[in-house]
Amino acid sequence: MKRLISEFVDLFYPRLCIICQRALMTNERHLCLHCLQQMPRTNYHTKADNPIEQLFWGKVEIESAYSYFFFLPEGNFRHFIHAIKYGGETDAARYMGARYAAELQAAGKFSDIDYIVPVPLHPKRLRQRGYNQSEKIACGISVILQKPVRTDILYRKYATETQTHKSVYERWKNMQGIFDTKNTDIPLYPHFLLVDDVITTGATLIACAQQLLQRYKTARISIVTLAVAP
Ligand SMILES: [Zn+2]
């Protein structure tokens, strides 16, 4: 009966694939099977010293870091990131976070994570947008890993302007002192999983990791993002 109703609803209000805009089948969620299969996956969790981890070398100590797919300027998958960032597709963000976490978990990754920490938005930006897309991704990961999302540990002190047209050095300089941490009930030797939507130079995540390590000196940090921009 439930299936019949959802097929009926789909007929009149078709749910569309975020990427190709085709009507979804009843059993598809947010993306059609075709687009899911075409996803430009990195498969970095199968490689030692993968390029995401290398972004942090010599800057901050990271246990492991993975990104689900490539954010290619000519690829359709950038529509997905745009939709979760600006288009209010929060369920899709959770769904993708959960999918990736399930794949990573099946590969034996992140078995000892204690807390999931999304990269925070500045409160002003959060009010404008209504949600933090990284927090939604983190919520999906949390369902699979069965570990709490903590938004009370790390916060953003300053809103940053768009970094798109800045050089790597300028981005890096610009991120210094942007984030800070709060003193919480975290016990010794925590393993934090930092979550962001897209990683580009790594400057944002480096700044977050440095702040966490300054406050929680015995912490270990891992990183996961949905996409990586080359
Ligand atoms: Zn599609």
CA atoms in the 13 A half-sphere facing the CB of 189? 1
- State the pLDDT at residue 141: 98
Locate the domains of the chain by residue range. 1-38, 40-228
If you compute the radius of gyration of the chain from its CA atoms, what whole number of angstroms results?
Answer: 18
Distance 138 CA to ligand 1 centre (A): 24
| Residue 191, phi then psi, degrees to nearest 5 | -110, 110
Pick the CATH number of 40-228 from 1.10.287, 3.40.50, 1.10.3470, 1.20.1500: 3.40.50
Distance 33 CA to ligand 1 centre (A): 7
- State the pLDDT at residue 174: 72
Q: Which tens digit of pLDDT belongs to each residue from 139-151?
A: 999 999 999 999 9
Question: For the chain, what is the mean pLDDT?
Answer: 91
Distance 159 CA to ligand 1 centre (A): 34
Q: Which tens digit of pLDDT belongs to each residue from 12-67?
A: 677 999 999 999 999 999 999 999 999 999 999 999 999 999 999 999 999 999 99
pTM of the model: 0.91
- State the pLDDT at residue 136: 98
Cα separation values, 161 from 27, 140, 203, Å: 40, 28, 14
Could you give the CA distance from residue 181 to residue 148 in angstroms, rounded to a whole number?
17
User: Which residue is it, tokens 């897209």?
Assistant: 198
Distance 20 CA to ligand 1 centre (A): 4
Cα separation values, 92 from 17, 191, 226, Å: 10, 26, 12
Q: Which tens digit of pLDDT belongs to each residue from 171-201?
A: 767 777 899 999 888 999 999 999 999 999 9
Report the relative pairing of strands 115-118 and 191-199 from DSSP bridges.
parallel
Distance 22 CA to ligand 1 centre (A): 6
Assess contact for 190 and 219: CB atoms under 8 A: yes
